[in-house]
Amino acid sequence: MIPIAKPYITTEEAQAAYDTILTGWITQGPRVAEFEEKFAAYTGSKYAVAVSNCTTALHLCMIVAGIGKDDEVICPSMSYIATANSIKYVGAKPVFAEVETSTYNLDVKDVEKRITPKTRAILLVHQIGMPADIDAFRQLADKHKLLIIEDAACAAGSKYKGKAIGSHSDLVCFSFHPRKVISTGDGGMITTNREDYAQRMKLLRQHGMSVNDRVRHGSSKLIFEDHVEVGYNYRMTDIQAAVGIKQLEKLDWIVGERRKIAMRYNQAFADVDFLQLPIEQEGYFSNYQSYSIYLKPGCPIGRNDLMQKLLDEGISTRRGIMTAHRETAYKDECAGLSLPVTEDACDRSIVLPLYVPMKEEEVEMVVRKVKECLAVTHAF
């Protein structure tokens, strides 16, 4: 079976985790601080805050941004449900907007139509690693005095106009889930250029405790902590951070290898008229966290049938990016909402296997079987 994805983790990461365990400091400590420092440097941001996952990262961003009850945040429905859920966590309302057919990223014109006096922020998602048009949304946000929060769960290693994702906005959230380009098993990171945001998020991630464990244990004087506000247990462990440090060292190489596979797919499927391939515009640099193809009208096979045929041949695929407004948790409140572009993009797209290292014969098999199912003469 060719899997849809798998993490690239070697004995170096295992050794780093082992060494950290033997230090006796396995919760949030010196390795977390080191990972934060190195991730901030990689992205070009001033600060980075490590947390338990990207969902908790988004939640903390909503809190420090001051978003709360009766506020509205515009976001895509076409994103993992955690995007919308993070808005609900603070009592605000997710307002779903359309995406572009070419990138599956938010459509700036449609977003502007959905701005109301209650709108506080735009939650911008870099879909499956393809950067959104940050400058266009920055102009829109400035025009309407809105905040920009970036859901960069899939975008570690991606770039927008020559700068790493993570350096463009004051609140940017990353995921280190095993399906992502680099992984800590699970985990997340927030980058920001605002010291006040960074300090408050570090406070909130550890129960609102005024003195963190690393400072307390390193002090030669007796220190008693105070819990200055209601916080959360959103900590990353030092074991995860040790793995993350090693993963970060390999990020550029991993992205380079992923892009080679994506380019081979692009070349192989370029002559198939009823497939739309990923579109990477000038100034955009994707890490290709996933490789998604869209079946245009007139395709000789339906999306689900194609997925089943490929599964029968030993090839795993996934449906296109989900739509939150059609999930049971959101159906009632979204009754009557029409997002035809979003729904079509979800229903007619498939994510193909892409991981490092992916053997040439595995790529060849995926291409061959997709073309056979589409009744297209194979040439690779």
Would you call 54 helix, strand, or coil by DSSP? helix
Active site residue 88: no
CB-based contacts of 298, cutoff 8 Å, min separation 6: 274
Kindly state the DSSP code that residue 23 receives in the 8-state scheme.
H
CB-based contacts of 329, cutoff 8 Å, min separation 6: 81
Residue 318: exposed, middle, or buried by beta-carbon count in 10 A (0-12, 13-18, 19+)? middle
Give dist(CA 126, CA 160) in Å, integer: 10
E strands present in 71-181? 72-76, 93-97, 119-125, 147-151, 159-160, 163-164, 172-175
The token pair that represents 316 in the structure block? 């795993």
CA 344 and chain centroid, separation? 22
Contact yes or no for 130/151 (Cβ under 8 A): no
Give dist(CA 225, CA 217) in Å, integer: 12
Would you call 291 helix, strand, or coil by DSSP? strand
Containing H/E element for 121? strand 119-125
Would you call 106 helix, strand, or coil by DSSP? strand
Q: Cis omega (within 30 of 0) on the bond before 357?
A: yes
The token pair that represents 286 in the structure block? 């994707």
Tokens 């090693």 correspond to: 246
The token pair that represents 146 in the structure block? 């809105």
Active-site position among 88, 143, 180, 296: 180
Contact yes or no for 52/186 (Cβ under 8 A): yes
- Sign of CA pseudo-dihedral 301, 307, 309, 310: positive
How many Cα atoms are found within 13 Å in the side-chain-facing hemisphere of 192? 24
Hey, which residues are catalytic here? Answer: 180
